[in-house]
A and B are shown apart, each in its own frame.
Chain A
Amino acid sequence: MPEKIEDQIKEMIVERLFLQVSPDDIADDDPLMVKYDIDSVRLFEIVIGLEEIFDLTFEDDEFSVEAFETVAAIADLVKSKQE
């Protein structure tokens, strides 16, 4: 398991979404939804994956497009919940 949160997120996304790319190919600021064709079904998988690997629960008011737009944004959200 990578140490950096960003790298853990990338690894989880590639594994759960069956993406045919290496986690290293995903840049922190890549627009995930556009570049990796992420629809609501796939975004749901990301949310569940985040909750599982970081042992956290997202509240209703935390579901905003901006928060899940890039790996960097997701990492910020995860870090804020871990504080």
Chain B
Amino acid sequence: MNSTRTTPSRRIIHFGPEGKLYGVVHAPPAHSTRGFVICAPFAEEAKCAYRPLYEIADLAAAQGWTVLRFDYFGTGNSAGAFEDFTPPLAKENIATAIAYLHEQGIERVGLLGLGLGATLAFEAVANDVKADLLILWQPIVSGEQFYKLNIKRQLVRQMLTHGKAEGGKSAGDIIDLDGYSLRTSTIDQLKSIDLLDYGPATVPPTLLFQISFTQNMASDLQALADTCHPEPSSETFICEPFWKRIGFVDCTGVYDVTLEWLSGVGGCKN
């Protein structure tokens, strides 16, 4: 009987200082020297995107990539409370995740991020964290804009629950942002993010992927592409924003574009 594995395997890991970060490694059937870390989006979006990020990890692993999904400190199954989450710490976590894959013998490690995760991945690279490739699914370019949209989402939710919006709630240093408790300092850090400030930014081979209701590239994403050197591969794909939907969204097209780009930029035969 042939015992050689032909499908990806998954194993839970605890890594980083004191093993406080929780992750899942999707390993290819045969040893690979190429991999990437998945940088999840923020709060509710991370829940909605769980299935698609799990699926892209499995699909990439089947094509020879070692993929690490993990939870930032303070989120998901990692240690800490949600108010411990901060963008600077999340970027440190990303660097720690890259280092973990290197320790496992993965020589070339990239980043795939969605939403705020893509933003943090971009910032990590811009701040000299070494990544061999960058896949940005619908990155948030302006933290200020992102914050305003989250406030608006909260107002819309309140409107449907109570008939009208009631505004934000706060208790001391903690602010309720659409059901998630954040420190005011974290809100300030989020609002201060502006990816265009990094221009001109030197990036590894990069896929800038707009996932939206239109094929027309949004002006902020185009501006981001224009600040990068070398120029990223820009793709647009019409798809429901699955990271904002509770229900099923068919993301096959998103996976296909991403895997095709990966096979072109990195190859998978080790």
Contact = CB atoms under 8 A, between A and B. Distances in A.
Interface of A: 15-16, 18, 33, 39-41, 43-44, 47-48, 58, 60-61, 63-65, 68
A63 B240 contact: no
Given A43-B159, A64-B164, 15 more contacts: A16-B213, A40-B153, A41-B245, A44-B152, A44-B244, A60-B165, A61-B164, A61-B165, A63-B159, A63-B165, A64-B159, A64-B163, A64-B165, A65-B160, A65-B163
Given A18-B240, A41-B244, A48-B149, A63 B155 contact: yes
A61 B167 CA distance: 9
Contacts of A47: 152, 156
Contact of B160 (A15, A16, A18, A40): A40
Interface secondary structure of A, over-half rule: helix
A16 to B, nearest CB: 5
A58 B156 CA distance: 11
B185 interface: no
Contact of B159 (A15, A18, A41, A65): A65
B213 A44 contact: no
Contacts of A65: 159-160, 163-164
Closest 8 CB pairs of A and B: A63-B165, A63-B159, A40-B157, A64-B164, A44-B156, A63-B155, A40-B160, A44-B153
B140 to A, nearest CB: 14
B214 interface: yes
Interface string B150-187: 00110111111001110100000000000000000000
